[in-house]
Amino acid sequence: MKAIDLSGKTALVLGVANQRSLAWAIAESLGEGGAQLAFTYQGERLQKNVHTLAAQFPEAPVMAMDVTSEEQVEGVFARVEREFGKLDILIHSIAFAPREALENEFIDTTLESWRIALEISAYSFIHLAKHAVPLMEDKGGSMLALTYMASQRVVPKYNVMGAAKAALEHGVRQLAGELGPRNIRVNAISAGPVPTLSARGISGFSNMSAHHREKAPLGRNIEAREVGDTALFLSSDLASGITGEIVYVDAGYNIMAL
């Protein structure tokens, strides 16, 4: 019987804020698959939360990393190299835009908000990939980002985050093209709405969620676990032929016209 087995593989998971985070659902699935995990968190506010959750994986390093701090990024990859000697899986489950950029009209987006949203939510994936590649080079690896359909369609109030997700998705394809010859696969999961900390910061999130539930072919919203299990598959050798893809985990919502 074929089964997903990540034993012997190491994974760096960015973006756990609390147990509702998509990153946490992904970590649980990768952990169940047998991967050895390492976590990063942003800022002291999340330190206790993430340490408490990660204690479920006794050997897992937990490290502070704001992706805009080069010192912290270098520190994290140096520790991964010291403790694991390699990296097989990189999970990028982070995004940020200043609150006003998600409340005002898109036409009022400031250059500063644009810069912050695009830097944290899209550029960081490219930057982290550069740090991850030397640790993956022997056997190849898998990189995965989290995106949302507002990269392609207009979702009111998603504003600059839609631009950031469009840039992120392009980055996924461009990196997949460049890193394919080194057997490094790069994909993204486009998730339907899940009520996480960040999602609740989007104005009208409840309406968005209700609309998805009503229109999706499966007639419901997705659960974080379904994102986790898709990440498990994409990170595994069963997905060895898949790269550069945006995989929708949205109960089918994206295929509907009406």
- Catalytic positions are 148, 158
- Which of 202, 113, 229, 213 shows the shortest CA–CA distance to 160? 113
- Each residue 12-51 as x (binds ligand NAP by CB under 6 A) or -, in order, gives ---xxx---xxx------------------xx--x-----
Query: What is the sign, positive or negative, of the torsion defined by CA atoms of 204, 222, 184, 173?
Result: negative
Q: How far is the CB of 98 from ligand NAP (least distance, A)?
A: 11
- Residues 107 and 84: their CA atoms lie apart, in Å, by 46
Q: How far is the CB of 133 from ligand NAP (least distance, A)?
A: 20
Helix or strand (DSSP H, E) at 40: strand 36-41
Using rule CB under 6 A, residue 197 touches ligand NAP: yes
CB of 195 within 8 A of CB of 163? no
Q: How far is the CB of 33 from ligand NAP (least distance, A)?
A: 19
Using rule CB under 6 A, residue 171 touches ligand NAP: no
- Residues 166 and 154: their CA atoms lie apart, in Å, by 12
- Of 34 and 75, which CB lies nearer to ligand NAP in the complex structure? 75
Q: Which two tokens stand for residue 129?
A: 């990939």
Using rule CB under 6 A, residue 199 touches ligand NAP: yes
Using rule CB under 6 A, residue 141 touches ligand NAP: no
Q: How far is the CB of 139 from ligand NAP (least distance, A)?
A: 27
- Residues 11 and 35: their CA atoms lie apart, in Å, by 7
Binding site for ligand NAP (CB under 6 A): 15-17, 21-23, 42-43, 46, 66-68, 93-96, 120, 146-148, 191, 193-194, 196-199
